[in-house]
């Protein structure tokens, strides 16, 4: 393996011994072979180490660290990566064989972009595809601000950009740390993309939004709002839309609370959403949350 491959694939993992072998096999089956894999075990208590060390391919390197959540694990991998581009692949998802070939062609055709994203799909554990995210267009800069449709698996960062713009490591922000980074990057650089599907996000029970207590979701996204508000470049880029962004997060709180049958919270956050951005009253999520809070 070259000392400086084109791609470094950083795979943070935590207690995914039963899934990570399938992920690694999908990476090692790539048509494009100039890559390294850095598995960052974020304090697993299962036999993840045994599974990963069972791979004899010299491109696979295993690191074990104390548990600090995915943002810190990704930064840990970035600091040890040698590739020109870094991508952060989840340890329970799959690469199709064309993933790195499409990425390589995009790098060559655009000319070393700061970052880019490849299309992906969602599949169930039985392999059946249930959705495809392959409709990005010139409005992508605004679209991602209000709806995080980027998959970590599909994002590639030039190494100097990844080092300059690390993930936030605050545990409270866990599961929104990627979106926070995408918004910061969108404020600085154009996001290039391909609508060719090259990877798959595998849906399973542990990924369900509604297994997370609503209070944790609220604390997470309030911190997201705080982090973005404190970033002068983000505010310059998106400041006029920020009240709508805040109201949109509040309607997300409403949805979580409605699903968890916390009706009073739905109405309280609905009022705050309206106060922040009155036009939010017409949004589908606002209306659906109110409806769900009324139904028995």
pLDDT tens string, the chain, 296 residues long: the values are 446 999 999 999 999 999 999 999 999 999 999 999 999 999 999 999 999 999 999 999 999 999 998 999 999 999 999 999 999 999 999 999 999 999 999 999 999 999 999 999 999 988 999 999 999 999 998 899 999 999 999 999 999 999 999 999 999 999 899 999 999 999 999 999 999 999 999 987 655 555 688 999 999 999 999 999 999 999 999 988 999 999 999 999 999 999 888 999 999 999 999 999 999 999 999 999 998 888 76
Residue 26 lies in a domain: yes
| Contact in structure between 199 and 122 (CB atoms under 8 Å) | no
Q: Which of 207, 242, 260 is the last residue of a domain?
A: 207
Backbone angles phi, psi at 91, to 5 degrees: -80, 5
Residues 14 and 106 in one domain: yes
Residues 140 and 266 in one domain: no
Residue 31 lies in a domain: yes
Residue 2 lies in a domain: no
Residue 1 lies in a domain: no
Residues 140 and 240 in one domain: no
Residues 147 and 219 in one domain: no
Residues 195 and 267 in one domain: no
State the residue range of the domain holding 155. 7-207
Residues 198 and 265 in one domain: no
Looking at the structure of the chain, the number of domains it has is 2
């Amino acid at each position: 393996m070259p000392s400086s491959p084109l791609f470094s694939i950083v795979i943070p993992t935590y207690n995914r011994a039963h899934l990570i072998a399938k992920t690694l096999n999908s990476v090692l089956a790539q048509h494009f072979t100039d890559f390294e894999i850095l598995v960052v075990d974020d304090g697993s208590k299962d036999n993840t180490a045994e599974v990963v060390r069972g791979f004899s391919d010299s491109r696979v390197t295993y690191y074990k660290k104390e548990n600090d959540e995915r943002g810190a694990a990704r930064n840990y991998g970035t600091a040890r990566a040698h590739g020109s581009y870094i991508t952060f692949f989840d340890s329970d998802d799959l690469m199709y064989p064309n993933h790195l070939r499409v990425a390589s062609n995009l790098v060559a055709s655009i000319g070393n972009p700061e970052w880019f994203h490849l299309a992906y799909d969602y599949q169930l554990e039985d392999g059946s595809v249930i959705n495809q995210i392959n409709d990005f267009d010139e409005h992508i800069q605004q679209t991602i601000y209000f709806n995080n449709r980027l998959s970590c698996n599909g994002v590639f960062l030039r190494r100097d950009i990844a080092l300059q713009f690390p993930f936030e490591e605050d545990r409270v922000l866990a599961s929104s740390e990627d979106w926070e980074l995408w918004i910061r990057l969108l404020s600085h650089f154009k996001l290039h993309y391909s609508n060719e599907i090259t990877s798959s996000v595998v849906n399973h029970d542990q990924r369900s939004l509604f297994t997370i207590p609503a209070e944790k979701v609220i604390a997470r996204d309030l911190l997201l709002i705080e982090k973005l508000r404190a970033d002068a470049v983000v505010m310059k880029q998106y400041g006029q839309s920020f009240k709508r962004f805040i109201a949109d997060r509040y309607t997300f709180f409403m949805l979580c609370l409605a699903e968890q049958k916390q009706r009073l919270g739905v109405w309280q956050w609905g009022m705050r959403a309206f106060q922040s951005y009155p036009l939010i009253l017409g949004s589908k999520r606002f209306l659906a949350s109110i409806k769900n809070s009324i139904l028995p």
